[in-house]
Amino acid sequence: MKIATILEAHYEAVSASEPLARIQEMISACIQCGTCSASCPNAFAMDHTPRQLWRLVLLGQKDEIFHSKTFSLCSDCYICTLRCPRGLPLTEAMDALKQIAAGENLAEYKHSILFYKNFLRSVRRHGRVREMEFMTNYFAALKNPLRPFRFASLGIKLIAKGKVSVNWPRKARLPLEKIFQKVNELEKHT
């Protein structure tokens, strides 16, 4: 019983750190120079600077990393990737952290995760994103009745200009269903 418990705890620790291990490998050559932090256009809004985040990743501080807003504030501008003197794929490492947060549905990143997932749901249904359907589902998923009002006037302008279709899609075509399914299947086995 005791051994089983220890093994279970060990297994949990390993599987919890496994996704992080891939990211640790990506940035293992980080020299903590801070070029990324100095270059990042979003650093002003972050709690940990990108440099600090990479240190936390190398130390395996999962709790601290996923309680921080830093990776979700990355807007994929690739300036850190371009300037990193060690040539590390820092933007991809940020994306990999976003992928873990999305995979585990972490509550703190609810807004971003719902935004991305509703976007992809629309793409999966129609092959191309339908902006009106996607934003409506996103706002519905946020369950915050005030949130849509920040975008209401923009939405009305876009509808008036015929830029977003208000016609609800009659039937999903699912042209990407096989690709989505195969990707899911492959990801389960890795």
Partner 1 sequence: MRYLYYPGCSLEGTALEYNLSTRSVMQDAGVELVEIEDWTCCGASAAEATSDLLSLALPARNLAIAEKMDDVNNILAPCSACYLNLKKVEEKTRKDQKMMDTLNGILAEEQLHLKGRVTVRHLLDVIANDIGSQKIQCLVKQPLSDLIIAPYYGCQCLRPYSIFDDPEVPHSMEPIIEALGAKVHHWGMAARCCGASHMNTKMEVGIELVANILKDARGADAIVTVCPMCQMNLEAHQRKISNVHHEDLNTAILYLPQLMGLALGISEKELGLNLNLSIGDRFHEKLQNAA
Interface residues with partner 1 (CB under 8 A) are 41-42, 44-45, 72-73, 75-79, 81-82, 91, 95-96, 98-99, 102-103, 111-113, 115-117, 119-120, 123, 127-131, 138, 150-151, 154, 157-158, 161-165, 175-176, 178-183, 186-187
**58 vs 164, beta carbon nearer partner 1:** 164
Q: How far is the CB of 6 from partner 1 (least distance, A)?
A: 33
- Tokens describing residue 124: 């999966």
Q: How far is the CB of 124 from partner 1 (least distance, A)?
A: 9
Q: How far is the CB of 26 from partner 1 (least distance, A)?
A: 11
Distance separating alpha carbons of residues 136 and 122, to the nearest angstrom: 11
The 3-class SS string of 103-165 reads HCCCHHHHHHHHHHHHHHHHHHHHCCCCHHHHHHHHHHHHCCCCCCHHHHHHHHHHHHCCCCC
